[in-house]
Amino acid sequence: MKLYYAPGACSLAVHIALREVGADFALKQVDLASHRLAEDGSDFYAISPRGYVPLLELADGSRHSEGSALLQHVADLDPAQALIGEPGSARRLQVLEWLGFVATELHKSFSPWLWHKETADSTRQAVKDKLAQRFAELEGLLATREHLAGDYSVADAYAYAIINWCKFLGLSLQPYPHLAAYQARIEARPQVQAALRAEGLLS
Ligand SMILES: N[C@@H](CCC(=O)N[C@@H](CS)C(=O)NCC(=O)O)C(=O)O
């Protein structure tokens, strides 16, 4: 398999999941400013017309996008890791709910709005207010549990990768001590450390 990624982008979640299940994969870095591959400058749009990461190329050469779908697929590669529940189980429904929450309530609030210089201040403030609401909910929840859906799951990898953007955007997690502790807990996982190191985010 090949994972097309950008350091610290949402693709980090899929990268973490691939390591957690012990998958055999290669990393292909994409420069998202130019939409070119870091290794040879070739056009990423020629590989993926949508131009975004994560993009996962399977052994049969087929290419797939959408982080939440890729996380489900990767988790299913090794059911023994229990990164997602059995189809039809309560655990799976909970993990899928959280994947949907992270994708639509967190990921797509941060991105593109808080990453683009052109975003109007009023929009930026509205997005920050919405994220504060979501973070407050997570703060309450994480006061009583270690992970989003019982044991560690791919939803935690996804939440970690997205909430980690606070560091780069100057958003403080100080008002949310349980959420900050959760981020530190996920970050301390060996495969998360390995993924961060491989992406050049940790020395
Ligand atoms: N719908 C996609 C969105 C992925 C996405 O937003 N990727 C960002 C990085 S976090 C990206 O590659 N942006 C560059 C671009 O859209 O040109 C998903 O859920 O995986």
Radius of gyration in angstroms for the set of CA atoms belonging to the chain, rounded to a whole number: 17
Per residue in 131-153, pLDDT (tens digit) is 999 999 999 999 999 999 999 99
- From 174, 142, 154, 141, select the one nearest 102 (Cα to Cα): 154
**Measured distance CA(184)–CA(75) in Å, rounded:** 22
Domain spans of the chain, in order of start: 2-81+191-198, 90-189
Q: Show the tokens assigned to 139.
A: 């703060």
Average pLDDT rounded to a whole number, residues 149-161: 97
Average pLDDT rounded to a whole number, residues 172-184: 98
Task: Kindly report the average pLDDT of the chain as a whole number.
Answer: 97
> Looking at residue 38, what is its pLDDT?
98
Per residue in 187-198, pLDDT (tens digit) is 999 999 999 999
| Domain at 90-189, CATH from 1.20.1050.10, 3.30.70.100, 3.20.20.70, 3.30.360.10 | 1.20.1050.10
Q: Show the tokens assigned to 180.
A: 């900050």
Q: Above pLDDT 70, what percent of the chain?
A: 100
Q: How confident is the model at residue 63 (pLDDT cuts 50, 70, 90)?
A: very high
Ligand 1 pocket test: pick from 45, 52, 116, 158 the residue with the most ligand atoms within 8 Å of its Cβ.
Answer: 52
> Looking at residue 203, what is its pLDDT?
83
Distance 10 CA to ligand 1 centre (A): 7
The domain made up of 2-81+191-198 is a member of CATH 3.40.50.410: no
> Looking at residue 6, what is its pLDDT?
98
Neighbours of 40 (CB within 10 A): 6
Does residue 9 line the site of ligand 1, with CB under 6 A?
Answer: yes
Residue 112 alpha carbon, nearest atom of ligand 1: 6
- Atom 12 of ligand 1, residue of closest alpha carbon: 52
> Looking at residue 152, what is its pLDDT?
98
pTM over the 0.85 mark: yes
Per residue in 75-116, pLDDT (tens digit) is 999 999 999 999 999 999 999 999 999 999 999 999 999 999
Q: Which residue has the higher pLDDT, 166 or 203?
A: 166
